[in-house]
Amino acid sequence: MTDEESLADSIPVDLRALARRDARVSGRSALAAMPRLAAALHEAPGARQAQWTLHGSLRALPGGGSQPMAELTVRAVLPLQCQRCLRTVEEPIDERALFRLVDVEPELSDEELEAEDEALCADAPVVLRELVEDQLILALPLVPMHAACEPPAAPEPADASPDASPFAVLQRLRSTKR
């Protein structure tokens, strides 16, 4: 195995080549460069980064030959919205995924769903930042929450004057249109 190399996350990488040389690469990716993930965050990502390593390897197949594999680990702290107090909760993510590098995406069979590794189409070079972003999105907790916090206090009663209600505003808009 070669020493760990650091790699720019925006350059497409031939994962099969990494697997063939048993390479381990690592890098950092700015969360601000991940628009799909940023949409799920409670705060702007600012200078936050995800740290990742990718280890390519060849798995010997029982019938001879080998299957190229890639193991990705991703670590980051994501600012999510606590579903109890509605403030920011710093959610640590530490995810590992094992990919089986394939040419063609397989059908989603039961066997495929239960496999401990995941098929990843690697017929073209892969941008690691996008792979890391996918992994972080998959790792998002369904209900992010502080270990201990209080729900927010009930809001002050809203202005009850009839003019302020959305219906009153709608009524006014309608009457001006006519």
d(CA 44, CA 8): 23
Shortest separation between residue 141's beta carbon and Zn ion, angstroms: 13
With CB under 5 A as the contact rule, the residue among 16, 81, 84, 139 that binds Zn ion is: 84
Measure the CA–CA gap between 8 and 33, rounded to whole angstroms: 13
Taking the complex as a whole, the smallest distance from the CB of residue 16 to Zn ion amounts, in Å, to: 44
With CB under 5 A as the rule, give the number of residues binding Zn ion. 5
Whole-number Å distance between alpha carbons of 42 and 38: 8
Q: Check residue 48 for interaction with Zn ion (CB under 5 A).
A: no
Q: Tokens for 82?
A: 């606590």
Residue of the chain from 17, 149, 168, 170 that contacts Zn ion (CB under 5 A): 149
12 phi and psi angles, rounded to 5 deg = -60, 135
44 in contact with Zn ion (CB under 5 A): no
The residues binding Zn ion (CB under 5 A) are: 82, 84-85, 146, 149
